[in-house]
Amino acid sequence: MRASNGAPRPLQTGCRIGALALCILLAACVSNPRQELQTAAVVTSEQTNASPKQRQMGRMIAGIGQAATLGARSWYIDPILRPASTLSAYYALIGKSALGFARRVAIDAVQIRALERQPIPPLTQRAFMDSAAWEAHLDRTIGGLKSFGSVDFLVDGEEFFTRFNQAVEHAESTIDIRTYIFDSDDYGVFIADRLKDRSSEVGVRVLLDGLGELFATQSDPATMPPDFRPPRSMPSYLRRGSKIKVRTRTNPWMTGDHTKTTIIDREVAFVGGMNIGREYRYDWHDMMMEVRGPVVDVIQREFDATWAQSGPLGDIALLARFLLKRREASNAEGVPLRLLFTRDFNSQIYRAQLAAIRRAQSRVYIQNAYMSDDLVVYELAKARRRGVDVRVIIAEHADDATMNLSNASTINVLLGAGVRVYRYPGMTHLKAAVYDGWACMGSGNFDKMSLQVNEELNLGTSDPDTVRRLVERVFAPDFERSQELVEPLPLTWTHRVAELVADEFL
């Protein structure tokens, strides 16, 4: 989507989706140590005694080995063990990429230009869309897994990891973790050590994404304590000296598992956008949700199915899981909740939020670090033309330089449409939205990978109290602490290139 030009700014990075071997060059996340890291382990003596140059060379060699192994599994083993999944990922990616390209051309060349000629009306004071009618529309057109439960918002790392560590410490039978990145920094090792200790008493399973695992091991955070040496492989570190079971998901056609869930004793689940690492604990603004009730059974089934598919039996194990009789919840404890997913040929998170933007009558509040989807931006601009109060919070400095430049183009288009845009100081990794009286939050970004390619999990609800608490805990304070932009940002050709890269690959 095009936006106005201005002063120059250098393009700091290119496409992060390319040949699999190049993934080892991508930067991992950074954050700060704190007192609770005092027990974090420092790994092998040969790493401790090696020079920085030797350690970097060792890390690069290890990364090449990991990339080669992941590539071999994704390209040669997956078609044998997971033939249906591999073909599905291929055809879904091709179809969505072709359709998405045609749609972006139409929006950029025709639709957004026509919309710019329409006047921006004043805000209207209309009632929210009818919640019952909206939920019925979702039932008919989107689907998702409906259940019940309670939701508590855990905003930022101190709230979440305090509860996470308490839950891990008091677990009585099982700890099941599914995450995109389990960082090999000092806080990641701190969490790994706690899990290793508990694995002698309870069953611990950790499900990782292959590309995410590469990202986590290929750079040291700038604030890493100088005497800390990260393990070269977090899966190996988790297994070493423990009873933890670890599986790493492969990445056919560069797809990823971006879901983040932790389930304790099959009774409580943590769902949201946080990976495990220092920036999530200390530096970034983010959110997880603690959910209880029958919905935990649904989240557990999703974990168990994905775990089975990631094992040696692949798609056969997944099919067996679906053929097993499901244990259905016998009560409706809590408020109605809907689990929405991004899957091959079924981008529920994308379709549900597009429908919500189109139906919103009074307000649309969105907070996300990555806003590169042209159709979402176009629908937000159209909603503002209906008199809807549309507000978007974007990170002042995203962790990915390409997305940072692409976001600037998005910001200018939104400002030109009359949307109120706020820049959160520093990095917000939080992923949440409110459309009148419906909330949608979880792991999904507003970019191509989250909306159409990767596996994602969001929660949606029309429960008035839950929506109210989300606005009070997240949007109201973040509007206050963020800078509202009133003038377009200066852009150059580098922003346009970054936008094209983000549209096609990120």
Q: 67 lies in a domain?
A: yes
In a domain? residue 435: yes
How confident is the model over 445-464, as pLDDT tens digits? 999 999 999 999 999 999 99
Spatial distance between the Cα atoms of 443 and 349, rounded to a whole number of angstroms: 10
pLDDT at 52 (0 to 100): 62
Domain containing residue 338: CATH number: 3.30.870.10
What is the b/e burial string over 351-368, where b = at least 16 CB atoms within 10 angstroms of the residue's CB? bbbbbbbebbbbbbbbbb
Q: For residue 8, is pLDDT > 70? A: no
Distance separating alpha carbons of residues 124 and 52, to the nearest angstrom = 60
Is residue 431 assigned to a domain? yes
β-strand pairing of 203-209 with 174-179: parallel
Q: For residue 333, count other CB atoms closer than 10 A to its CB.
A: 14
**What is the pLDDT at residue 252?**
84
Query: Tokens 């449409």 map to which residue?
Result: 417
Of 149-153, 345-349, 398-402, give the lowest mean pLDDT range. 398-402
Whether the predicted pLDDT of 356 surpasses 70: yes
The HSE-up count of residue 384 (CA atoms within 13 Å, CB side) is: 24
CA distance 188 to 199: 16
- Whole-Å CA distances, 192 to 81, 244, 296: 29, 10, 24
Number of domains in the chain: 1
Amino acid identity of 504? Answer: E
> Considering only CA atoms, which of 86, 69, 93 is closest in space to residue 315?
86
Res. 188 pLDDT band, cuts 50 70 90:
very high
Question: CB under 8 Å to 319, separation ≥6 — which residues?
Answer: none
Which structure tokens are listed for 108? 């950029």
Contacts of 379 (CB under 8 A, 6+ apart): 354, 357, 358
- Mean pLDDT score, 425-439: 97
% of the chain surpassing 90 pLDDT: 62
Q: Quick one: tokens of 382?
A: 């159209």
Domain-embedded: residue 9: no
Q: At what angle do helices 156-170 and 186-198 cross, to 10 degrees?
A: 20
262-298 tens-digit pLDDT: 999 999 999 999 999 999 999 999 999 999 999 999 9
Q: In this structure, which amino acid lies at residue 12?
A: Q
What is the DSSP pairing of strand 456-461 with strand 438-442?
antiparallel
DSSP state, 30? Answer: -
**Segment holding 45, helix H or strand E:** helix 45-49
- Is 475 within a domain? yes
Measured distance CA(350)–CA(455) in Å, rounded: 12
What phi, psi does 175 have (nearest 5°)? -135, 115
Q: pTM for this one?
A: 0.89
Whether 3 maps to a domain, the answer reads no
What three-state secondary structure class fits 201? coil
372 vs 504, more confident: 372
Residue with tokens 């179809």: 95
In 263-328, where does DSSP find H-type helix?
A: 278, 295-309, 314-323
In a domain, 6, yes or no: no
Residue 430: domain span = 20-505
- 428 or 42: whose pLDDT is higher? 428
Q: How far apart are the first and last CA of the chain?
A: 15
Residue 158 has a CB neighbour count (10 Å cut-off) of: 12
What is the arithmetic mean of pLDDT over 480-491? 96
The reply to whether 11 falls in a domain is: no
Angle between helices 374-385 and 348-359 (to 10 degrees): 20
Contact 153, 469 (CB under 8 A): yes
